[in-house]
Amino acid sequence: MTEDIRVRYAPSPTGHLHIGNARTAIFNWLFARHYNGTFVIRIEDTDSARNIADGEKSQLENLAWLGLDWDESPDKPGVYGPYRQSERNEQGIYQEFIDALLASGQAYKSYKTSGQLASEREAQQAAKQAPHYVYEYEGLTNEEREAKYAEFEAQGLKPVVRFRVPEEQVYAWDDIVKGHIEIGAKEVGGDWVIQKADGMPTYNFAVVVDDHLMKISHVLRGDDHVSNTPKQIMIYEALGWDVPKFGHMALIINGETGKKLSKRDENLLQFVEQYKELGYQPQAMVNFIGLLGWSPKGEDEIFSLSEFKEMFDEKRLSKANAKFDQKKLEWVNNQWMRRDTDAVMPQLIQELVNAHLISADDAADKKKWLSEVIKVAGVDGISYTRQIVELVRKPFFELGDITDEMVEYLTSEDGRKVAAAWESTYESLPTDATPADYMSTIRAIQNDLEIKGRNLWNPIRIMTTHEVQGPNLPEMLTLLDKNTVLKTMRDVKEKYLA
């Protein structure tokens, strides 16, 4: 690339990494890596009240888990640090530019209380007007305004700094995703706060200062920021800075509400960490997210991060919001697990240990057997590793109850015949009998007794496993301990067939 491409992902540590943020991060990463650019992570922690402990750490850990890496961040400082806005504020980075805007008259101090602001807004809404800020120093000279400041200060009021919006301006940019967009300055809601009373810069101001100072070339973010963009361009222009290229990507929204993902949507798993815990594969998460709002040329659907990187083309980003479909994610994850089941095997076995089906020591000793059990039980059908637990529990680790329906199968005329025939032949089979051996044994009983279908299979299943459904029976029998099965059969016989 001839031009220096620098993009960034700028989370606020107010929560864990959710799917929507992950998507923004992934696409910024793809953009950087595809064009040989630099990927920066900056922490936007200007709202001290909402920051949570470990928010930053969790964000970074989850990004790394997804397979992303970065070139500059708080934990990997580059030359444009620091990379936390709180630290940048302590260094006076924002103050310098706030002072400059104050000095040039492009910003001013405002002492209105939150109560005043609220009642102004109420009055505007009652009059069916859009809420907007009303400039309180209209017609005053600089000296008169300074005098007002002193007056308010004397009352002990703390000011915020507001940017004086040039109302006649129209701000326009060519959005990488959405094309040409124009918004008039008078539509942003009036003079807006760039510095809060506690001295922290606001998001719309800090983001501009930082993106400029960090030489960010392309701002790729969610399209919930489209309406913020004119405010940000105002600052670039007021400070005489070049405006970066903007790209506003469609959002991932909640399928039920149609709104953007929110922490309050508890019926939906929306944090990357939750999927990690259930045993989703990071490649699958990236694959699924990468195909939400972006599509490749062909009709393939399974891609790795590096394949996405090669194919990436910002022109194929879609403009419309995408609903989050967990079923499709499950399918993608299933595909990834099946692509290399052996690689996932340690994780699957760990699930069984976590569920106390087997001790860690025993699991280590019986690795081969566990792998077979997991495969026969149907690992190919699960959506995430945690699901393997209930699939293998019965009959490999526990026996279920015998239901009335099962008793009927057992005690029917056919059932009794099958049970008797099965018992005598099973006992005579060698312990290393193969699935084919079991199959031919069962076929022999079928031919002898002229009983087939459920009436044949169910009594055998019930006697050996206490189940009428489950994995392929012949394969299962090779994995069950013969003495245990014999005991199970004896117990069933005593209780129901005596």
Q: Of residues 139, 156, 240, 258, which one binds RNA by CB under 7 A? A: 258
Is residue 50 within the footprint of RNA (CB under 7 A)?
yes
Is residue 57 within the footprint of RNA (CB under 7 A)?
no
Question: In the bound complex, what is the minimum distance in angstroms from residue 107's beta carbon to RNA?
Answer: 13
Residue 491 neighbours by CB under 8 Å, 6+ apart: none
Q: Of residues 100, 102, 291, 311, which one binds RNA by CB under 7 A? A: 291
Q: Are 384 and 333 in contact (CB under 8 A)?
A: yes
Question: In the bound complex, what is the minimum distance in angstroms from residue 50's beta carbon to RNA?
Answer: 5
How distant, in Å, are the alpha carbons of 16, 327, 351, 384 from that of 276? 12, 16, 13, 9
Question: In the bound complex, what is the minimum distance in angstroms from residue 108's beta carbon to RNA?
Answer: 13
Q: Of residues 454, 487, 490, 495, which one binds RNA by CB under 7 A? A: 454
d(Cα 181, Cα 381) in Å, to the nearest integer? 47
Question: In the bound complex, what is the minimum distance in angstroms from residue 114's beta carbon to RNA?
Answer: 6
The DSSP secondary-structure symbol of 380 reads G
Instruction: Please state, as a whole number, how many other Cβ atoms lie within 10 Å of the Cβ of residue 399.
Output: 15
Burial of 407 (0-12, 13-18, 19+ CB in 10 A): middle
Q: Of residues 9, 70, 133, 275, which one binds RNA by CB under 7 A? A: 133
Q: Of residues 145, 260, 375, 493, which one binds RNA by CB under 7 A? A: 260
Question: In the bound complex, what is the minimum distance in angstroms from residue 294's beta carbon to RNA?
Answer: 7
Q: Are 68 and 285 in contact (CB under 8 A)?
A: no
d(Cα 451, Cα 461) in Å, to the nearest integer? 15
Alpha helices, DSSP H, located in 291-325: 305-311
Question: In the bound complex, what is the minimum distance in angstroms from residue 431's beta carbon to RNA?
Answer: 21
Measured from the CB atom, the residue of 365 and 443 that comes closer to RNA is 443
Question: In the bound complex, what is the minimum distance in angstroms from residue 13's beta carbon to RNA?
Answer: 9
Residues that constitute the known binding site: 263
Segment contacting RNA by CB under 7 A, of 93-101, 209-217, 265-273, 293-301: 293-301
For residue 163, list its beta bridge partners: 107, 192
Is residue 440 within the footprint of RNA (CB under 7 A)?
no
Measured from the CB atom, the residue of 200 and 208 that comes closer to RNA is 200
Question: In the bound complex, what is the minimum distance in angstroms from residue 278's beta carbon to RNA?
Answer: 13
Strand ranges for 185-298 from DSSP E: 192-195, 218-222, 245-249, 252-253
Instruction: Please state, as a whole number, how many other Cβ atoms lie within 10 Å of the Cβ of residue 398.
Output: 10
* Per-residue tokens: 440: 């031919």
Phi, psi of 31 (to 5 degrees): -60, -50
Residues 328-357 as x/- pattern, contact with RNA by CB under 7 A? x-xx--------------------------
Q: Are 220 and 247 in contact (CB under 8 A)?
A: yes
Segment contacting RNA by CB under 7 A, of 142-150, 247-255, 396-404, 426-434: 247-255
d(Cα 311, Cα 278) in Å, to the nearest integer? 30
Site size with RNA, rule: CB under 7 A: 92
Is residue 380 within the footprint of RNA (CB under 7 A)?
yes
Q: Of residues 130, 428, 430, 432, which one binds RNA by CB under 7 A? A: 130
**Which 173-192 positions form the footprint of RNA (CB under 7 A)?**
178-179, 181-184, 187-189, 192
Q: Are 148 and 140 in contact (CB under 8 A)?
A: yes
Is residue 112 within the footprint of RNA (CB under 7 A)?
yes
The DSSP secondary-structure symbol of 379 reads G
Is residue 128 within the footprint of RNA (CB under 7 A)?
yes
Q: Taking Cα atoms as reference points, which of 321, 315, 322, 308 lies closest to residue 29?
A: 308
Residues 227-246 as x/- pattern, contact with RNA by CB under 7 A? xx------------------
Residues that constitute the known binding site for ATP: 263
